[in-house]
């Protein structure tokens, strides 16, 4: 049974609010990543969604995983993606952005 | 209902830091919007390149050789990540010593040596040569 | 290694003195040879215009100056220097036949308008006459002028007299000398 | 009284307490950091003048030129906000904001000294989590992103080269820096900065001199200061990723550099120079840790300026070579050393 | 030792009839008029058989009375002998055309381009006859011609017509007015050629290549010039150089001034070398007049020129340091501080710190002041000590060495081929110094060493400069010991200089290399033609080939180690 009293617990509300906010951010940024017309914008949205995922991990009390997410996904994989974008052909980018 | 400090609670103030950190520049920009003059012309907004019209775009394709740096970075960054949890266990009794030799320490030393060998191999293959 | 560099800067920082001068308060010592704003010895200047002719930038112009030496020709003119164009080469100083143009150590000649840095003789002249001297000089000049006039008048008179004499002599030759003598007596 | 009430509340409602205290602390710290960073700019100009036999700022605000930065700030605020026509506007606008915001993330986890109350040392830190060193390390690695955003969005060749160099430099020094943090943590048996400070009965700079040198070099590189300021080498690429920024946007990016310099120096003091540790000064024992902390911080800052005025700049390929081929193997050697020495001392 | 006579007789026997007239004046300078169709053969013969491997420049003279253009090619040798050959080629004024020497001497390129754009002489066989100093609108007015009527007025902003290019940039054009076309100040039929930008764009090949402007407003450039580098990532593939942004037309200005008025204008060629420029110009006019300064005057000139060399090298080295370090780099400021003392020494004599305008025809402006000797000796002592410190710094610091060793290497052959002179040439193991090669003043009595280095890289160039500071200190000390008393100006120099018709070439060792003045007199009180052959012009020309294949950061190190001065290039 669902204990309805916990809905009135402010801590629960904060957690719920934080989770929904993060979920919205993650989903929104992910959608933007896919639909963005500019490949660099896509990359940056992806980084933002990584950051939100890190925040989600932390809010789930998995702090080490969250910080590791920041270090590896934003610090390393994100840089890898940005680097890769800089190494792509410009015409390719234009096709992406106009297509 | 008594709230014991959970690890996550330490991170909550940081959100406020992030917000304040974003508000400082936004406030400054808003203030500038109010006080500073706004007489933008096409000339004023042109790209600076030694005072001349740039030849072609700035965004070009860089040499693919540089990608090796990024890949090497990811590899080493992830491997360094493995070292962080180890800090907490290497001197504790979580991993027992066998025959007076700490497994945690020996294992990690071996790990470092393997990393080092990998790095030397990278250097020898000239993967980390700046072109 | 890089330590030598660090040592050098540290040495200069600890033992060193400030070399920069706080400019308007402290001005550096300038040598006597300094080529700054011109100085014109107004008593010596003969207004020949050699400075204006030698100037490579055409910045010297000759202008009349009321406080110049009235003893000399009234039409004498004195150099006016446009420091917006001057390049302080010193050729004018070298070329001055009367050695009346020199250069001083003054170098602060900024102004708000272009005309502010055109220095006329009143700005660069030294040995200017004060009012009394000027009056005396003017008096002298007047006297000299009068003297000149007087001399001229005298000369004219003498000439006239001479001419009259000559005429009389001529007339006397013709036998009318007595008549004129009589007229004079009357 | 009040203190105990607050601690009680904190124990009961840690999340609300966190939000409230976070907001207050962030606001206070943000203003303190901004003021200190401004003083730092002034200090840098003045100390640089001293090293170079000149005065530095000496007109605005009297002989010492203390109001020079106020004058500069007024100038930056009243300058027109110009966004170049070729720029990618959203990224261009967001870059300074991201830069300052991510910097503040670091500030939240750093202890700014400590005070002694009733013989008990209370570190002045907002978020004292158990892996704060790891967290700071991770937050520092985000800095390269804002530099990339600024450089890429400007659509300027100098900016582009600056952004590219910035990333290349960051990835060369991130790993040695991380390994140095691990070496320190190995000796302290903790990743918490406060505990690392408290564990330093002997300064880690003495216990691991190699690690100290590597970390200092990596830190200077991260800060982008001489001899590692290839991203802004004005003789080559004008101002790197800052080139197209002007007015207050440039001011923010410039200012952020000084904030990072301040925070980086604090990190160096904490990790290697014993933080606020020092003999208790009898009369003013309340703030004696603060005094030690500030003394060390000022020395580190002056040393950074000293290095800046004294050394020529490396070439970018030499920088990456130094990072990958020298510092990275050496940092691994240092880690092994830390393990062995740490065990021996433990 | 080869003398000018030997060269002349060899020429006459090898090419009978090719030498129309010839004279040797003064000793070591061979003036010869060569038949236009033989000039390339003669030069090839001289280069191959008499080691005239140094193409020193070319000067174009408009002889409007004779209906001729005269191009004088200046040839010399890198140390094999001391003869300077000045070969004149005449060409009719209505259809001027001369054979190009670019096939023989690589560095003839710029000199011939300059003569083409200024005089309109066509150089047959020149690979890229594009304007160098003039802007595109002015090509075709031929400003060095004596019947040149003046520039069209391109200065007023109202006349500019705005044009928006396809990529959204504004450009301006200045169409001539009817009145100007009538007055003849506008070129009517302009030569056709691809513009600088079009020539650059042709070179871009791959997707990863881009052209980066370094200049005209850039921290690397000592004055406005355009250095464009075609880069692939961080590597420079090709470099392009465009100069002329501050072209002042000093040579034309001097044609409209009297000889004396020309002296202060030579200061403005390059402020770092004002005294040596004075010396070169006054020396040339003294040769025309046939006078010589008294001994004391010559000593004073030497002392001041060596002091000036010290200050120039200090500033040059300091500027180089800021380029490989940053603008806040301290040793640069220390060098500036040291230089101030040297400038004070010079100022106490000349009265100016930068633009001295001190040398006169037949002597100097004034004598040394009291206490000059002590002051200078003190300063020199300080400079010596400081220079030793800087040298030690360069040798010991690992970052310097990483940045400079093996960067921008010029082999001796390459350096001679590119025509550089001064410290860059001497750093490439070629002891070529005018003070030894073509002694002027009293340098033949002085004991000094020509500093050379074997490596030919940026570091060697800086080291040569620092060593030359020490050598200059030694020369000044000798001069101060030996200086006799006496007058500083020669007797009987007329106030109004009017040399007999003729021409003279006089070259001195500038701080940066070979500085020569070629002066033609037509008997009036104004020179008919003045041509300044500056050392930096040659450095600039040699820069693009040096920059191929280096890193962007090395561009700065190489350009800085050349110690360039745009003012002199543009003149």
Q: Which D residues, 303 through 332, put their C-beta within 8 Å of a C-beta on chain B?
A: 316-317, 320-321, 324-325, 328-329, 332
> Residue D300 — very low, low, confident or very high, per pLDDT cuts 50/70/90?
very high
**CB neighbourhood size of E403 (10 A):** 24
Please name which of E344, E571, E338 lies closest in space to residue C30, comparing C-alpha atoms. Answer: E344
Q: Check CB contact under 8 Å for E260 and C91.
A: yes
Residue B100 pLDDT > 80: no
> Residue A98 — very low, low, confident or very high, per pLDDT cuts 50/70/90?
very low
Nearest to D233 among E210, E213, E553 (CB): E553
Rg over alpha carbons for chain E, rounded to the nearest Å, is 24
- Burial of D221 by CB count in 10 Å (0-12 exposed, 13-18 middle, 19+ buried)? buried
Number of inter-chain CB pairs under 8 A, B vs D? 237
Q: What is the pLDDT of residue D45?
A: 87
Asked whether residue E194 is domain-assigned, the answer is no
* Residues C14-65 pLDDT 10s: 766 667 778 888 888 888 888 888 888 877 788 788 888 888 888 888 888 7
Residues paired with E507 in a beta bridge: E516
Same domain, C85 and C151: no
Full domain range(s) for residue C145? 129-159
Asked whether residue E487 is domain-assigned, the answer is yes
Q: Check CB contact under 8 Å for D310 and C2.
A: yes
- Shortest Cα–Cα distance, B35 to chain A (Å): 31
Q: What is the pLDDT of residue D185?
A: 87
Same domain, E266 and E123: no
Helix (H) or strand (E) holding E57: strand E54-63
CATH number at residue E274: 1.10.645.10
Asked whether residue C176 is domain-assigned, the answer is no
Asked whether residue C19 is domain-assigned, the answer is no
Structure tokens at C43: 């008593």
Beta carbons within 8 Å of B24's beta carbon, 6+ residues apart: D30, D34, D100, D104
Residues paired with C118 in a beta bridge: C82
- Contact call for residues C43 and C69 (beta carbons, < 8 A): yes
Q: List, in order of start, the domains of chain B with CATH numbers.
A: 7-125 (1.20.58.1610)
Please give the Cα distance from D277 to E74 (Å, whole number).
Answer: 76
Q: What is the pLDDT of residue B1?
A: 36
Q: What is the pLDDT of residue B7?
A: 65
Q: Compute the CA torsion angle E168, E174, E178, E183 (nearest 10 deg).
A: -160
- Do E and D share at least 3 CB pairs under 8 Å? yes
Please give the Cα distance from D309 to E332 (Å, whole number).
Answer: 10
Number of folded domains in chain E? Answer: 2
Asked whether residue C177 is domain-assigned, the answer is no
Nearest to C56 among E261, E331, E398 (CB): E261
CB contacts, 8 Å: B61 with chain A: 86-90
Q: Check CB contact under 8 Å for C9 and E350.
A: no
- Do B and D share at least 3 CB pairs under 8 Å? yes
CATH code, residues A4-96:
1.20.120.1200
Asked whether residue E203 is domain-assigned, the answer is no
Please give the Cα distance from E286 to D173 (Å, whole number).
Answer: 64
* Residues B110-123 pLDDT 10s: 888 888 888 888 88
Lowest mean pLDDT among A12-16, D242-246, E77-81: A12-16
Asked whether residue E174 is domain-assigned, the answer is no
E258, E300, E331, E352: best mutation site toward chain C, by most C Cβ within 10 Å? E352
Q: What is the pLDDT of residue B94?
A: 63
Same domain, E513 and E382: yes
Same domain, C46 and C71: yes
Residues of chain E with pLDDT under 50: none
Structure tokens at E296: 């004391």
Residue A92 pLDDT > 70: no
Asked whether residue C22 is domain-assigned, the answer is no
Residue for token digits 């006579």?
Answer: E5
Q: What is the pLDDT of residue A25?
A: 92
Please name which of B84, E554, B127, E403 lies closest in space to residue D324, comparing C-alpha atoms. Answer: B127
Asked whether residue C86 is domain-assigned, the answer is yes
CB contacts, 8 Å: A89 with chain E: 207
Question: First CA to last CA across chain D, in angstroms?
Answer: 40
Asked whether residue C29 is domain-assigned, the answer is no
Same domain, C149 and C82: no
- Contact call for residues E259 and E443 (beta carbons, < 8 A): no
Same domain, C112 and C38: yes
C95 near E CB under 8 A: yes
Same domain, C137 and C79: no
Number of folded domains in chain C? Answer: 2
* Residues D116-162 pLDDT 10s: 877 777 787 777 788 888 888 888 888 888 888 888 888 888 888 88
A90 near D CB under 8 A: no
Same domain, C122 and C135: no
Same domain, E126 and E259: no
Same domain, C120 and C141: no
Same domain, C62 and C134: no
Q: What is the pLDDT of residue D346?
A: 54
* Residues A18-34 pLDDT 10s: 889 899 999 999 999 99
CATH number at residue C62: 3.30.70.3270
Full domain range(s) for residue E519? 250-570
Helix (H) or strand (E) holding A93: helix A90-98
Beta carbons within 8 Å of D132's beta carbon, 6+ residues apart: D109, D110, D125, D191, D192, D193, D194
Helix E330-350 and helix E295-324, axial crossing angle in degrees, nearest 10: 160
Nearest to E257 among C1, C30, C56 (CB): C56
Q: What is the pLDDT of residue D337?
A: 86
Q: Which of E108, E136, E164 is the last residue of a domain?
A: E136
Asked whether residue C97 is domain-assigned, the answer is yes
Asked whether residue E169 is domain-assigned, the answer is no
- Shortest Cα–Cα distance, B59 to chain A (Å): 7
Residue B2 pLDDT > 70: no
For β-strands E29-34 and E84-92, DSSP reports them as: parallel
Q: Check CB contact under 8 Å for D138 and A75.
A: yes
> Per-residue confidence of chain C (186 residues) as pLDDT tens digits?
777 778 877 877 776 666 777 888 888 888 888 888 888 887 778 878 888 888 888 888 888 877 766 666 666 788 888 888 888 888 888 888 888 888 888 888 888 888 888 888 878 877 777 777 777 777 777 777 788 888 888 888 888 888 888 878 777 666 555 555 555 554
Q: What is the pLDDT of residue A97?
A: 47
State the SS3 of chain D.
CHHHHHHHHHHHCHHHHHHHHHHHHHHHHHHHHHHHHHHHHHHHHHHHHHHCCCCCCCCCCCCCCCCHHHHHHHHHHHCCCCCCCCCCHHHHHHHHHHHHHHHHHHHHHCCCCEEEECCEEEECCCCCCCCHHHHHHHHHHCHHHHHHHHHHHCCCHHHHHHHHHHHHHHHHHHHHHHHHHHHHHHHHCCCCHHHHHHCCCCCHHHHCHHHHHHHHHHHHHHHCCCCCCHHHCHHHHCCHHHCCCCHHHHHHHHHHHHHHHHHHHHHHHHHHCCCCCCCCCCCCCCCHHHHHHHHHHHHHHHHHHHHHHHCCCCCHHHHHHHHHHHHHHHHHHHHHHHHHHHHHHC
Q: What is the pLDDT of residue A26?
A: 93
Beta carbons within 8 Å of A67's beta carbon, 6+ residues apart: A54, A58, D131, D134, D135, D138
- The length of chain C in residues reads 186
Please give the Cα distance from D138 to D117 (Å, whole number).
Answer: 32
Q: What is the pTM for the complete model shown?
A: 0.86
- Burial of E27 by CB count in 10 Å (0-12 exposed, 13-18 middle, 19+ buried)? exposed
Asked whether residue C85 is domain-assigned, the answer is yes
């Amino acid at each position: 049974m669902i204990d309805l009293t916990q809905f009135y617990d402010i801590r629960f509300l904060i957690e719920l609010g934080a989770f929904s906010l993060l979920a919205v951010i993650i989903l929104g940024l992910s959608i933007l990543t896919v639909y963005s017309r500019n490949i660099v914008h896509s990359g940056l949205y992806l980084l933002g969604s990584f950051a939100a995922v890190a925040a989600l991990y932390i809010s789930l009390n998995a702090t080490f995983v969250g910080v590791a997410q920041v270090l590896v996904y934003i610090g390393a994989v994100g840089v890898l993606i940005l680097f890769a974008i800089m190494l792509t052909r410009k015409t390719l980018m234009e096709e992406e952005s106009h297509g | 209902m008594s709230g014991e400090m959970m690890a996550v609670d330490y991170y909550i103030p940081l959100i406020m830091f992030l917000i304040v950190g974003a508000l400082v520049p936004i406030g400054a920009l808003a203030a500038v919007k109010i006080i500073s003059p706004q007489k933008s012309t096409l000339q004023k907004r042109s790209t600076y390149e030694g005072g001349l019209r740039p030849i072609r775009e700035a965004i070009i394709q860089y040499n693919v050789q540089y990608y090796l740096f990024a890949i090497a970075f990811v590899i080493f960054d992830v491997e360094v990540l493995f070292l962080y949890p180890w800090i907490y266990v290497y001197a504790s009794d979580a991993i027992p010593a066998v025959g007076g030799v700490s497994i945690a320490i020996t294992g990690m030393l071996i790990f470092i040596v393997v990393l080092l060998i990998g790095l030397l191999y990278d250097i020898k293959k000239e993967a980390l040569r700046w072109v | 290694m890089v330590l030598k560099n660090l040592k050098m800067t540290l040495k200069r920082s600890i033992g060193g003195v400030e070399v920069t001068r706080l400019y308007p308060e402290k001005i550096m010592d300038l040598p006597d040879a300094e080529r700054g704003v011109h100085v014109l010895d107004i008593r010596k200047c003969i207004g020949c215009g050699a400075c204006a002719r030698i100037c490579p930038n055409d910045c010297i112009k000759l202008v009349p100056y009321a406080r110049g030496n009235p003893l000399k020709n009234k039409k004498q003119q004195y150099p006016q220097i446009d420091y917006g164009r001057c390049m302080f080469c010193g050729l004018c100083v070298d070329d001055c036949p009367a050695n009346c143009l020199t250069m001083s150590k003054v170098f602060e000649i900024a102004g708000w308008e272009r005309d502010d840095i055109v220095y006329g003789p009143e700005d660069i002249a030294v040995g200017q006459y004060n009012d009394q001297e000027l009056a005396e000089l003017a008096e002298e000049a007047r006297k000299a002028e009068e003297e000149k006039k007087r001399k001229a008048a005298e000369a004219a008179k003498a000439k006239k007299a001479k001419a009259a004499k000559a005429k009389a002599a001529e007339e006397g030759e013709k036998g009318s000398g007595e008549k004129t003598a009589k007229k004079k007596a009357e | 009284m009040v203190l105990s009430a607050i601690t009680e509340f904190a124990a009961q409602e840690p999340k609300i307490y966190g939000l409230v205290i976070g907001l207050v602390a962030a606001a206070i710290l943000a203003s303190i950091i901004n003021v200190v960073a401004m003083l730092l700019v002034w200090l840098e100009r003045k100390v640089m003048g001293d090293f170079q036999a000149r005065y530095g700022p000496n007109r605005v605000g009297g002989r010492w030129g203390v109001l020079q930065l106020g004058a500069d700030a007024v100038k930056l605020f009243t300058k027109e906000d110009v966004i170049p026509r070729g720029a990618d506007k959203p990224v261009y606008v967001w870059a300074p904001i991201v830069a300052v915001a991510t910097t503040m993330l670091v500030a939240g986890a750093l202890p700014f000294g400590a005070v002694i109350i009733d013989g008990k040392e209370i570190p002045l830190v907002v978020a004292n989590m158990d892996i704060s060193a790891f967290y700071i390390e991770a937050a520092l690695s985000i800095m390269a992103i804002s530099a990339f955003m600024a450089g890429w969005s400007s659509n300027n060749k100098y900016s582009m080269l600056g952004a590219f160099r910035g990333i290349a430099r960051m990835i060369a020094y991130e790993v040695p820096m991380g390994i140095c943090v691990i070496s320190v943590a190995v000796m302290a048996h903790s990743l918490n900065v406060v505990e690392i400070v408290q564990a330093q009965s002997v300064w880690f700079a003495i216990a691991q001199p190699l690690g100290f040198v590597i970390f200092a070099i990596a830190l200077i590189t991260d800060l982008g200061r001489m001899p590692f300021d290839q991203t802004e080498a004005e003789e080559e690429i004008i101002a790197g990723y800052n080139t197209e920024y002007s007015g207050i946007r440039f001011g923010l990016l410039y200012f952020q550099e000084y904030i990072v310099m301040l925070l980086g120096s604090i990190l160096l003091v904490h990790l290697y120079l014993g933080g606020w540790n020092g003999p208790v000064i009898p009369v003013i024992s309340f703030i004696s840790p603060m005094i030690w902390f500030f003394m060390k911080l000022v020395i580190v800052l002056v040393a950074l300026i000293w290095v800046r005025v004294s050394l020529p700049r490396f070439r970018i390929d030499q920088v990456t070579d130094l990072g990958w081929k020298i510092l990275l193997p050496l940092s691994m050697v240092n880690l092994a050393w830390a393990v062995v020495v740490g065990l021996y001392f433990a | 030792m080869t003398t000018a006579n030997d060269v002349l007789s060899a020429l006459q026997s090898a090419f009978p009839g090719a030498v129309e007239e010839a004279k040797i004046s003064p000793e070591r300078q061979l003036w010869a008029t060569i038949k236009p169709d033989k000039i390339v053969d003669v030069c090839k013969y001289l280069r191959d058989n008499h080691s005239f491997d140094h193409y020193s420049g070319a000067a174009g003279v408009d002889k409007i009375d004779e209906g001729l253009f005269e191009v004088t090619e200046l040839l010399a040798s890198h140390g094999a002998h001391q003869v300077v050959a000045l070969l004149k080629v005449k060409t009719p004024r209505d259809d001027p055309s001369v054979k190009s020497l670019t096939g023989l001497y690589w560095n003839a390129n710029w000199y011939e381009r300059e003569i083409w754009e200024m005089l309109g002489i066509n150089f047959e066989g020149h690979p890229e006859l594009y304007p160098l100093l003039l802007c595109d609108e002015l090509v075709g007015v031929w400003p060095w011609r004596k019947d040149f009527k003046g520039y069209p007025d391109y200065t007023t902003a109202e006349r500019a017509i705005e044009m928006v290019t396809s990529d959204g940039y504004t450009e301006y054009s200045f169409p001539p007015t009817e009145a100007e076309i009538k007055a003849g100040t506008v070129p009517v039929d302009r030569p056709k050629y691809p513009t600088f930008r079009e020539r650059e764009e042709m070179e871009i090949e791959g997707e990863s290549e881009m052209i980066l402007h370094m200049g005209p407003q850039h921290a690397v450039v000592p004055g406005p010039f355009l250095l464009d580098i075609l880069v692939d990532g961080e590597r420079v593939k090709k470099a392009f150089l465009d100069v002329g942004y501050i072209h002042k037309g000093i040579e034309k200005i001097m044609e409209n001034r009297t000889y004396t008025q020309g002296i202060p204008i030579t200061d403005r060629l390059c402020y770092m070398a004002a005294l040596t420029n004075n010396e070169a110009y006054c020396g040339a006019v003294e040769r025309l007049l046939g006078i010589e300064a008294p001994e004391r005057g010559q000593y004073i000139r030497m002392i001041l020129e060596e002091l000036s060399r010290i200050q120039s090298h200090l500033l040059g080295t300091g500027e180089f340091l800021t380029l490989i370090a940053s603008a806040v780099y301290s040793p640069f400021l220390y060098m500036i501080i040291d230089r101030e003392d040297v400038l004070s020494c010079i100022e106490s004599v000349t009265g100016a710190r930068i633009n001295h305008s001190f040398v006169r025809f037949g002597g100097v402006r004034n004598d040394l002041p009291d206490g000059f000797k002590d002051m200078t000796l003190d300063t020199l002592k300080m400079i010596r000590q400081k220079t030793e410190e800087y040298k030690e710094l360069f040798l010991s610091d690992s970052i310097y060495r990483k940045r400079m060793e093996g960067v921008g290497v010029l082999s001796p052959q390459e350096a001679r081929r590119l025509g550089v002179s001064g410290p860059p040439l001497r750093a490439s193991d070629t002891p070529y110094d005018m003070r030894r090669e073509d002694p002027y003043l009293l340098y033949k009595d002085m004991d000094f060493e020509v500093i050379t280095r074997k490596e030919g890289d940026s570091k060697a160039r800086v080291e040569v400069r620092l060593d030359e500071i020490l050598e200059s200190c030694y020369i000044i000390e000798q001069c101060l010991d030996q200086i006799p008393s006496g007058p500083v100006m020669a007797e009987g120099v007329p106030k109004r200089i009017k040399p007999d018709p003729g021409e003279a070439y006089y070259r001195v060792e500038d701080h940066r290399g070979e500085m020569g003045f070629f002066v033609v007199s037509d008997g009036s009180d104004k020179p008919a033609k003045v041509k300044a052959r500056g050392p930096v012009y040659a450095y600039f020309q040699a820069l693009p080939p040096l920059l191929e294949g280096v890193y962007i950061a090395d561009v700065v190190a190489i350009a800085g180690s050349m110690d360039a001065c745009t003012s002199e290039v543009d003149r």
